[in-house]
Amino acid sequence: MLRMMNEEIIKFLACIGVDARYISLYDRSIFINNLRFSRFSRKREEQFLRNYPQWEVVRSKDFQKICIRASRVLSQSLKPGEKIFIFINEGCADLILYLILESYKRKYGIEIIYDDKLDSSMESEVDSIALSLTLDQEVINIINQMINGHKIRLSETKTNEGLKIIYPLINIPDSWIKIWEKNNNYKCTFKPMDGTSRDLIRFLEQYIPDVRENMFKSATILS
């Protein structure tokens, strides 16, 4: 039923001149990923809401900024027509992950499969697994490896079964997601961070601009 409703919404948006490749649909809400490319003007929003008053159009510069940065990763890691598995969760990063990928159902023709676990039968059906690993989480992994004297390795790109793993949020700081969550009053949770590594990042960012991005770039070269 929900899928049929979404298809109806997409058709109507196309009729009024909105490019649905740059919006995301979720729980009777439309999230604008890129205002310019979507052509979702205020006039078109008013026209849409007159026909679907139970829906909401979310205009968030924070969300658009996240989508633009995530697109740099997805343009290199995602292939048209892929089946992407996402774990069901209540985390803020997991919600952002779904919202970003939802638009790629129309951009790249991907199919999203989501569940709370990935069993053997599911693995044979999907092409990739999308994980909500953020820039902060990856940098903390890097710091922990340095502290323990291990060789620096970035997060795995394949499972033991050979499935591709993609990280659409790998260059998104937690702070961006928290600002988005706060400004839009979403009720979701964040994964707890290791205290020592978190404190070290906070110390370093006082002296090094964009310390997370720079550490991730350096680790990419070293690995």
Residue range 8-42, pLDDT digits in tens:
999 999 999 999 999 999 989 999 999 999 999 99
Pairwise pLDDT comparison (219 vs 62), residue with the higher score: 62
Instruction: Give 88's contacts (C-beta < 8 A, 6+ positions apart).
Output: 94, 114, 115, 116
- Radius of gyration of the chain from its Cα atoms, rounded to whole angstroms: 19
How do residues 109-146 score in pLDDT, each as one tens digit?
999 988 777 774 455 588 999 999 999 999 998 888 88
pTM of the model as a whole: 0.87
CATH superfamily for domain 61-222: HUPs (3.40.50.620)
Give the rounded percent of residues in the chain with a pLDDT score beyond 90: 54
Sign of torsion over alpha carbons 94, 98, 104, 109: positive
State mean pLDDT over 169-192: 83
- How long a stretch of residues is the chain? 223
**What are the boundaries of each domain within the chain?**
1-59, 61-222
State mean pLDDT over 135-163: 85
The band of 1, judged by pLDDT with boundaries at 50, 70 and 90, is low
Classified as helix, coil or strand, 147 is helix
What value does the mean pLDDT of the chain take?
A: 88
> What pLDDT sits at residue 208?
83
The band of 201, judged by pLDDT with boundaries at 50, 70 and 90, is confident
- Write the secondary structure of 196-212 as one string of H (helix), E (strand) and C (coil): HHHHHHHHHCCCCCCHH
> What pLDDT sits at residue 101?
96
> What pLDDT sits at residue 88?
81
